Amino acid sequence: MEFLLVALAVGFFFLNEFNGGMLGFKPDIASSSLAFGWLAAYIVGKLAVSDRDTLAAFMRGFLLPVFPAVLIGLGQFLGVPFVLEFTRSYVSASNFEAVLDQGGTLRAPGLVGHWWSFGGYLVGATAVAVMSLSAVRNGGPGGRALPGAALFAALLGLVLTLTFAQIIAGAVVLILSLGPRLRRAQAIVALGVIAAIAYAMFGARFEDRLMEQSVASTRIGGIPSWVPSTIAYRLYVWTSQTIPMILERPLTGWGSNVYSGSSVATAEAGRSYPQYLIWQSPESQWFGTAMSHGLVGLVSLTCLLVAVFAILLCARRTPVALPYVAPLLWAFSSQVVAGFINPTITNHGFSLVLWPILGLLVSILDSAPEMEHRGHSRLVRRD
């Protein structure tokens, strides 16, 4: 995994340098070094665990930021003045600011800056909370109070984003990871109470958002009017703009931050942009990667994600890792699927969770023989 991450990081860096020289722009260091950040997070997760106590401590510490993040998201959702001012001043959230200026439906972008990214982070946090609860249930140290509270906070935060794909992803992680335990009467009652409270507090906003998403399109670009507008505009953007732009530079793409050219205010002077660029987002992880890094970058990213999936499937066959792998597997799968309609892997949301927790899981796999030999009493990493 380290080799693939290094290869992707170096490849993305040189692709940006090449595109910058060809298209007349200075590569953005944050975009060029994105995969290096993934590598660092992966290594931190892999080195942080040495026994069951440090494993439990790592996951619990990882869950602590969920609480202030969701609290800020609640303030954004409710339009609390000082939270809105804080968001304008310290969070890069242009879409949220546009909604504020236009008087639209407020959705929580958290500290990540966008409701989709914030939702991805919370899907990952849901997975980590379930992992921590599973560890306790299987004899691990610590109690259930902190991971249980973090799970509730993450699910609440998902509702605050009003992003249905991420809300569904969180529900998938919860239901498929906990499995038979959710069929208990107490669990059903608890979930019912939570759903009733959420609807009582946010039902009207939720219904408004649902109507926005399900309203029939007005024959956007010749797309039939019965197609919901949330799908119709994506189909129109892909067919009329994104795919033609990709075909102009199919191998290496248009470089990082290419969508800055969709607005005169953000366009870089002297940079060559594709002629079809109008919409400000690719509305897809896979089209977005092809736009910025071409088919070379898309194939490289796909190979990395296939390797992640292989690790998770391998972990399912390892008894020591089994309590931890299912939540991350379902969270990862949900984000890969959601990537067909929005960037989910390369944004600053789910990736904040994926790479350190994947490193943690690999550390568990590396230590599996020793754990089994010692009766699962300790994790001892092999160097």
Residue 380 forms part of a structural domain: no
Residue 353 forms part of a structural domain: yes
Residue 223 forms part of a structural domain: yes
Q: Tens digit of pLDDT for each residue in 69-85?
A: 999 999 999 888 999 88
> What amino acid is encoded at 274 in this protein?
P
Query: Which residues touch 70 (CB under 8 Å, ≥6 apart)?
Result: 110, 122, 153, 154, 156, 157, 160
Residue 381 forms part of a structural domain: no
Residue 382 forms part of a structural domain: no
Token pair of 218 as six digits: 């007005």
Give the whole-angstrom CA distance, residue 92 versus residue 287: 23
Residue 37 forms part of a structural domain: yes
Residue with tokens 């609390």: 80
Residue 379 forms part of a structural domain: no
Low-confidence ranges of the chain (pLDDT < 50): 373, 375-383
Residue 378 forms part of a structural domain: no
Structural domain harbouring 19: 2-373
Rounded to 5°, angle at Cα 31 from 16 and 86: 155
Give the whole-angstrom CA distance, residue 106 versus residue 162: 9
Q: Please tell me the pTM assigned to this model.
A: 0.87
Q: How many domains does the chain have?
A: 1
